[in-house]
Structures are given as C-alpha cells and as structure tokens.
A and B are shown apart, each in its own frame.
Chain A
Amino acid sequence: MKHLLSMADLGADGIEEILRVTDSFVEVTARDIPRVPALRGKTIVSLFYEESTRTRLSFETAARRLSADVMTFSVGSSSVQKGESLKDTVETIQAMGMDAVVVRHASAGVPWQVSQWVDASVVNAGDGWHEHPTQALLDAYTIRERLGSLEGRRIAIVGDIKHSRVARSNVLGFHALGAEVTLVAPPTLLPPSLEGWPCEVTTDLDALLPKLDVIYVLRMQRERMTEAVLPSLREYTSRYGLTARRAANLPDGALVMHPGPMNRGVEIAAEVADAPGTVITRQVANGVAVRMAVLFLLLGSGASIV
C-alpha cells in the first residue's frame, strides 16, 4: 500500500489487514507508555486545509505513538494566506523531507492530486464531500469490536448523505465487510444518483429501526437550511432525528454511532448520545489505533510493531 486515498482501493482484504494490525495497536495504546519505535526516523506531515482539530489530533497522536516526527502545517498562518498554490505548498514541504502527508481539504480529489506531485505516501484525512477512509476504518473496527463481525449486519446511515465524505467511505467499507447498508435521508440530502452504490435507500426511518444492528447518525449542518434543502432543523429532527422514542425501537444491543461533532437535540437526542448502546467515545479511542495501523502499514516496511 503506497497511499490511502479511498476505501474503494482497499477491498475486503485490505480492510481486514488494517483491522488486524489495529488490534495490536489497541493493545499498545492500553499500555502505561503507549509508544513503540516502529516509525522512528520517519517524518509525517499533517496538512489540513480545513480545520478539524479532532482528526488532526488523532493522526498526530497516532504518529507520535509510533515515534515518528510530526510536522504540522497550519494553513491559517502560512504562505497559503499569501496566495501560494496548493502544488507549491506541497512541493515546499516535500523539499523539507517527509515520508507521509496526511491531507484534509474542502475540495474533493485533492489527495489524488497531491499523490501525483510527491514521492511520499498520501493519507486522505477527508476530501470535500468525497471520502474519509480512516473514519470508515475506525467505524468498522468499532462495530467489529462490539458485534464480532460486520457480515450480515444491518446498518442504517441517517442524515446528510449528499454532503458526507463519511457516508461515502462507510458505504464502501461496510459493504466490503459484508454488511447490508441502508441510507436514510430526505431526497434533498441524497446524492443525485446512487447508481453503483452497494446499498438500499429509504425515507422511512421508523420502519427500519427494529431491524437494525447499527444506526449511524450523521451530523446535520446548519448551513443546509440556507440552501433550501430543508425547511427547518425542527422538521428534520421530527422525521430523521434519533430521539429517545426512536432509540427505544432499536433492538437490544444495537449500536448508535456518530462521527462527531454532535449537534445534540438535532440529529441525536442528548439522552441517546449518553446511553450505553452509544459507542461514540469508543469510535474516537479506536481512531488513534486505526491511524497508527494505517501509518505503520504505509511506512513501517520491515519494522515490527513491538
């Protein structure tokens, strides 16, 4: 594996391998000193054109726990503000020496472009509406940790699918691991075409709830109200929000997931977010181990995990 750009590139075997390696790093992160020398001497750059403290911290923590050197490129206070092009920025960083670059950008496809311009490995940490593969990996890991396997599991992804890189990566990842995925959203929040998507789609969340093993709730962004895709947040909540009443219709043991940050009271009720079936903090914890696994598999050729 040279880059991690899309879940589509991994396939079931690739995903399984990353999840297997993640097991080892979950063990490492539970140690008193959660650090291994696997990537000593390697330099990993985090290049976040779109602020995301959670994802950036998760990657940087993962890199440090592997003993890699971490460079943080902060777009807000850099030459980018002075009009430097994406390519020039990337080539400048490359010239300083790096082994991997973790890229987050508001435009779909930027990690692909960066991978054309540099010799280093590129990790997609979220590109526009397109993909967020490490999120999908940590989600799959979390489900497997709780339910044993994704094979045959019924998973609903609810909310703003159209603008969601998390949904795109998760549909591919969950399907590859054998789950049956259903998208639940008003048509204005669905992609214009679902041709080729390995999933079902419905607008009736209530009918689906009793059959689910996992309900994956997406963040509802307030900006959408100005784009005439929804009349109001209240109307969204009444039809698609995971309220306490709806959560009560889930089977026992069903998981409630969310990529964060949550809008409590909009897509998920506060009491549901804090209930025992909710594995949101577990997702965050597993995120570090999954990202360690990804960086290790990209850069750790020959090294043992220890």
Chain B
Amino acid sequence: MVDATGTRRADVAVRDGVIIEVTDSIEAQGREFDATGCVVAPGLVDLHTHLREPGREEAETVETGSRAAALGGYTAVVAMPNTEPAIDSAAVVRQVLELGRKALVDVRVAGAITVGRAGQQLAPLGEMADLGVRLFTDDGAGVQDARLMRRALEYARGLGVVLAQHCEDESLAAGGHMHEGEWSSRLGIPGIPSEAEELMVARDVALCRLTGAPVHFLHLSTAVSVDLVREAKAAGLPVTAEAAPHHFTLTHESVSAYDTRFKVNPPLRTRADVAAVKVGLADGTIDAIATDHAPHSQEAKEAPFDQAPPGMLGLETALALALTELELPVQQVLALLSWQPARIAGLQGEHGGPVAAGHPANLCVFDADETWTVDRAQLASRSRNTPFDGRALRGRVRHTISGGEAVVVDGVAQR
C-alpha cells in the first residue's frame, strides 16, 4: 500500500463507500479482491479531462470518458469547460454534474473564466462556485487580455477558487499547428513558438504577484515555462503546475509522417523540453501529471494536418507512461497523479487518500511491473486518437474502487 503517509503491506476492508479497516491481515467478509504483487493506492485524480459532453458526443461522453478514467486507475476527473455550449453558467455545470452522477468515477467540473470562453466578459464564477466548482479555466485558449485576467484573479481570490491558465499568446501562436523549430521548418507546417506559451506563463506569474490569487498552470510544455514556475515558487508565490504525459514522452519529431494523432496543443516540443518537464516533475516544480485527455473522432482526425483538431487520448495510458518513463519512486509518481492534483482541485479528504480507516474508498490497485501493449482498438474511450498505439508500457491497473464500488475488476470495467 502506498499513499502520502508512506509504504506498507496491509489488507484493506471497505464498507458503504468508506475504508473501515487497514491492518496486516483481514478475514474477508463479502467480496474479496486479489492485490497480490500490486500497489494499493489512493485513486488517481485527473485535473484535465475533456469529456466532450455536451455537444461533441460523437467523440466522448461522460459515461465513456469515465469508463476510460476508471480503467486508467482514476477515481475523479475534472471535466474541462470547452464543451458546446461551454460550461460557463450554473445551468451547464448542473447538467454535467447530473450526467456525472451515473458515471463510473467522480466527475467534477471546471468552469469557464469568461462567458463562452470568449475572453471578453467574466463568467458567473460565484454561481458556479456555489455548485462546488473549485477550478476555472478557458482551456483551449488562454485569457488574452491582461486586465481581464487580473480582475478574474482578484474576483477568484474572494471566492477561494483557483484559476487555471492555458498559456498561449494568440498573436504569436496564430496559424501554428506544431512546435516551431527544426521539424516545422522541414515539414512546411506553420509553427507555434515556445515563447507563445512562455509569454503568458511569465505574465500570469506577474499577475499572481500583483493579485495574490493562486494560479494553476495547465499542461506546461517548455523548458523556460518550467523555469518560470520554479522561480515563482521560490519567490513564494501561490502557483501550481501540471504536465501531460505526452509532454514527457514525445517530441516534435513524431509529426514527421504528418500523423494527426501527434497534433496537440500545446504542441510536442524538443528533446530538451521533454527533459526539462521530467526534471520539473522530479524536483516538485510541477505538482501534477494531468492527462489533457482530448478525444476526437476518426473523421475529425483524418483531415489535413493543418485542419485536424489538436488533442490526444490520455486517461488509459497516463499511469503506465509515468511508471515507464519517469524513473521516479512509485510514491512520487502517485503524488503527481493522486494526492497533489486532489489538493489543487480542492478534493482533499475525498480523493488522494490516505488509505486509512474512515476515509472514502477511492482506490486504485495496479501491478507496477506488468508490461502490456497499448492497442487503440481495446480502449474504452469512444475515440481512438492515442499516439501510443503499439507502445509497450510497464504498469497496469488491476482494480479501481470508486466510492466503494468496484468499477474495474481484473482490468475489466464492470459497467
């Protein structure tokens, strides 16, 4: 068993959605799950999931996305608000939370910062906060206007909620479809320079200093972004950050055959950036691994590269990619995937452990050594746009217990 308090060998008993006992050996009453050779951990928490509902149900639904999450070891996901319509009002928040009640895992919602994610007018953050929304973002786009972002941060501070930024200066990124550099130049694809991200990270660090409000940086992808966050933390500013698995595993060279599964925003960057993201994850600069699970239909992805939508699946491969690629102790990997993101999302106490009597039974059981090969045909997501198809990974989820319910048993979703 591994949680924030340490590592030990024990049995766990669960009743009515709550952990009732954790001791060396428990005589089973009722259903028993074999965890021999496995790690029992707090369920994973994804800060960055695109469930696509409402509006893009051909790509994913709350139901299919939550099944993918459960199979990936997650017990909670934060649904991003770039749906159609955007989650920018209490009504849409209620709609998604209602859909989430039938889901396999705990579905939480991030609200939009601005109305329609259009970057013009503040969305009703307070009304959404009253429904339990703790994270707000215009993800898919950054809030371009510095004055509006300043006001949003000030207002959010009063509500005790966190604003999360998709850092991208649109004037510099405009027209780009991959990382600007050696490969974009060779392939003749318009590029997005790293500086488009870094400018906004730097700006929002400044706005964090100005307002004192917490800022969460979504999907950091460049070495300089990681440095900026590291310096901000050293200066004592209330910033947190996440990185996506593809940004510590893949580089822009992957685009060389114009395979649109490798198109994502922020784009896959250089080897040096991948290395810097790994260092950031290892030294605590980056608090969380977040999937940016972004399903797209086959039809949408079968377009010319510059017309295909950006995004790739992540929920079913994140844990294994972290275990395979990061060379970190299991406890540190779980900190990045479970209790640290749980804190950022305001879910501490409900998710992220500890695995101890009296705590909610949100658990993930995985074999850290089992190797398996990603097969996109086998994924539970409604979409197939994984860039990791055919890749051999280490670490496989065996059981997921969400709110006391065994939603995944022996690697099979139970509903």
Contact = CB atoms under 8 A, between A and B. Distances in A.
Contacts of A27: none
B188 A192 contact: no
A20 interface: no
B155 interface: no
Given A109-B305, A110-B304, A128 B188 contact: yes
Contacts of A196: 182, 186
Nearest to B255: A109
Interface in A86-108: 86-87, 105, 107-108
Contact of A192 (B193, B304, B306): B193
B303 A85 contact: yes
A128 B303 contact: no
Given A107-B307, A108-B258, A110-B304, A131 B188 contact: yes
Contacts of A129: 188-190
Contacts of B100: none
A190 to B, nearest CB: 9
A105 B189 CA distance: 13
B184 interface: yes
Contacts of B182: 193, 195-196
B304 A130 contact: no
Nearest to B185: A191
A168 interface: yes
A127 interface: yes
Contacts of A175: none
A107 B189 CA distance: 8
Contacts of A127: 188
Contact of B305 (A108, A168, A192): A108
B389 to A, nearest CB: 14
Contact of A108 (B180, B181, B299, B306): B306
A107 B304 contact: yes
Given A85-B299, A87-B302, A108 B193 contact: no
B257 interface: yes
Contacts of A85: 299, 302-303
B185 A128 contact: no
Nearest to B191: A192
Given A107-B307, A196-B182, A86 B188 contact: no
Contacts of B299: 85
Contacts of B303: 85-86
Contacts of A192: 180-181, 184-185, 191, 193
B185 A109 contact: no
B99 interface: no
A293 to B, nearest CB: 25
B146 interface: no
A128 B184 contact: no
B306 A130 contact: no
Interface in A103-126: 105, 107-110, 112-113
Q: Is the interface of A mostly helix, strand, loop or mixed?
A: loop
Contact of A113 (B181, B188, B258): B258
A178 B140 CA distance: 47
A105 B299 CA distance: 19
B187 interface: yes
A168 B183 CA distance: 13
Contacts of B180: 192-193
B181 A109 contact: no
Given A130-B188, A168-B188, A107 B305 contact: yes
Contact of B189 (A86, A108, A113, A194): A108
A115 to B, nearest CB: 10
A219 interface: no
A181 to B, nearest CB: 15
A130 B177 CA distance: 14
A195 B183 CA distance: 9
B302 A86 contact: yes
B185 A107 contact: no
A128 B302 contact: no
Query: Which among B186, B188, B302 has the greatest number of chain A C-beta atoms within 10 A?
Result: B188
A130 B255 CA distance: 13
A204 B180 CA distance: 26
A108 B191 contact: no
Interface string B89-129: 00000000000000000000000000000000000000000
B356 to A, nearest CB: 52
Contacts of B190: 129
Given A85-B299, A193-B181, A105 B304 contact: yes
A65 interface: no
A130 B257 CA distance: 12
B306 A128 contact: yes
A191 B185 CA distance: 5
B304 A86 contact: yes
B187 A108 contact: yes
B182 to A, nearest CB: 4
Given A192-B180, A192-B184, A194-B185, A113 B304 contact: yes
Contacts of A197: 185-186
Nearest to A165: B188
Nearest to A194: B185
Contacts of A131: 188
A109 B304 CA distance: 7
B184 to A, nearest CB: 7
Contacts of A165: 188
A16 B243 CA distance: 48
A194 B304 CA distance: 24
Interface in A184-209: 191-197
A155 to B, nearest CB: 19
A193 B185 contact: yes
Contacts of A193: 180-182, 184-185
A184 B129 CA distance: 57
A194 B185 CA distance: 7
Interface in B308-327: none
Interface of B: 180-182, 184-191, 193, 257-258, 299, 302-307
The 8 closest A-B pairs by CB, nearest first: A109-B258, A130-B188, A107-B304, A129-B188, A191-B185, A108-B188, A195-B182, A193-B185
5 contacts: A86-B303, A107-B305, A108-B306, A113-B305, A191-B184
Interface of A: 85-87, 105, 107-110, 112-113, 127-131, 165, 168, 191-197
Given A109-B189, A113-B305, A195-B181, 16 more contacts: A85-B299, A86-B303, A86-B304, A105-B304, A108-B187, A108-B306, A109-B187, A112-B257, A113-B302, A113-B304, A128-B188, A131-B188, A168-B188, A192-B193, A193-B182, A196-B186
